[in-house]
């Protein structure tokens, strides 16, 4: 009987699919712009389809760029592909991070992946901002009483 030597094989496969998470979103800083790169893997696409009840092509996918200075602001960029690169210019000083978000027609939303944070310092503040920044307001959750046939939930 021939013995299998798995010490040479560093890949881990179950049923012919990779077990390594392949979802990526990163912000890469250059002197005058940022690059945002993302990749949503096939396994994640299938999982999102099952959770949100629609085909991945029909889901609304976007990158939300968050800016933290004295207050928190956000803007979003709709994307149509599961991988790609986005170039962001004319950013003011602040700490930035981003996330890939997917939502369905019922407005149910799932954050797929969140990026690293980068601090951006601009020597010249540009008044030409092509992005629509919206102030992020964090509200306390509002809980409603729910009743079941046998139990009162508070």
The most confident of the ranges 101-105, 128-132, 137-141 is 101-105
* Range 42-52 average pLDDT: 91
Q: Give tens-digit pLDDT for 87-123.
A: 988 888 889 999 999 999 998 999 999 998 888 876 5
| Run of H or E including 45 | helix 42-52
Element (H or E) spanning 27, and its range? Answer: strand 24-29
DSSP-derived 3-state class of residue 21: coil
Residue among 61, 70, 37 nearest 111 (CA): 61
Whether the per-residue pLDDT at 86 is higher than 90: the answer is: yes
What is the rounded (10 degree) CA torsion for 25, 100, 130, 36? 10
Domains of the chain as residue ranges with CATH: 18-136 (2.60.40.10)
Provide the percentage of residues in the chain whose pLDDT is more than 70.
70
Structural contact between residues 101 and 111, judged by C-beta atoms closer than 8 angstroms? yes
């Amino acid at each position: 009987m021939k013995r299998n030597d798995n010490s040479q094989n560093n890949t881990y496969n179950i049923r012919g699919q990779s077990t390594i998470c392949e979802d990526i979103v990163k912000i890469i800083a250059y002197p005058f712009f940022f690059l945002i790169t993302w990749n949503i893997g096939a396994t994640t696409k299938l999982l999102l389809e099952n959770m949100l009840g629609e085909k991945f092509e029909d889901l609304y996918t976007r990158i939300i760029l968050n800016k933290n200075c004295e207050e928190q602001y956000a803007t979003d960029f709709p994307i149509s592909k599961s991988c790609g690169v986005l170039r962001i210019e004319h950013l003011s000083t602040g700490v930035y991070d981003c996330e890939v978000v997917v939502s369905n027609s019922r407005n149910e939303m799932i954050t797929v992946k969140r990026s690293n944070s980068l601090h951006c310092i601009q020597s010249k503040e540009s008044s030409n901002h092509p992005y629509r920044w919206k102030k992020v307001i964090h509200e306390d959750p509002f809980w409603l009483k729910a009743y079941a046939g046998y139990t009162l939930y508070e």
